[in-house]
């Protein structure tokens, strides 16, 4: 796992990336650079550059954030999140622990996993295939 102090993370991340990735923030819906993006390639963690999602798993959910139906095996960890007066499943980068967003199950999307990984664009960095 990529262990850094907050000071070290602040030196390599923008203030918005730090707020989302290290402080578990959320970017406003509909504002992220990858929400409507259709490029073919791999989405990496914006903090540590670990590969997280392939573009073939991205779909348009209409939720206001990039949505994926599955992650690269072993790339994402899941944690119970009881903030905001509800229970959700937080997803984090398995390499550096950076907050990516949340995963939702059983929403009826016609995807192989019936999951929606709702990911903040600012947590991602896209690399062409």
pLDDT for the residue 1: 56
Q: Which residue among the candidates 45, 48, 93, 118 is catalytic per the annotation?
A: 118
Alpha-carbon 10 to chain mean position: 19
Are the CB atoms for 99 and 88 separated by under 8 Å?
no
On the question of pLDDT at 49 being above 90, the answer is yes
Q: Which CATH number fits domain 6-128: 2.170.150.20, 3.40.50.300, 3.40.50.2000, 1.20.1250.20?
A: 2.170.150.20
Question: What is the helix (H) or strand (E) element at residue 9, kind and residue range?
Answer: helix 6-12
On the question of pLDDT at 107 being above 60, the answer is yes
E-only strand ranges, 12-123: 41-45, 51-54, 58-59, 67-68, 76-81, 88-93, 99-105, 115-119
96 is catalytic: no
Question: What is the helix (H) or strand (E) element at residue 17, kind and residue range?
Answer: helix 15-17
Mean pLDDT of 68-97: 91
Render pLDDT for 59-72 as a digit per residue (tens, 0 to 9): 999 999 999 999 99
């Amino acid at each position: 796992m990529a262990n850094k102090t907050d000071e070290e993370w602040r030196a390599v991340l923008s203030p918005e990336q730090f707020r989302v990735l290290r402080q578990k923030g959320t970017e406003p819906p509909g504002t992220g650079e990858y929400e409507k993006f259709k490029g073919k390639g791999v989405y990496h963690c914006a903090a540590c550059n670990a590969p997280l999602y392939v573009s073939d798993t991205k779909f348009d959910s209409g939720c206001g954030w990039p949505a994926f139906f599955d992650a690269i095996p072993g790339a994402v960890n899941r944690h119970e999140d009881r903030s905001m007066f509800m229970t959700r499943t937080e997803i984090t980068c398995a390499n550096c622990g950076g907050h990516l967003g949340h995963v939702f199950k059983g929403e009826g999307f016609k995807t192989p996993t019936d999951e929606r990984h709702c990911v903040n664009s600012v947590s991602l960095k896209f690399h062409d295939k």
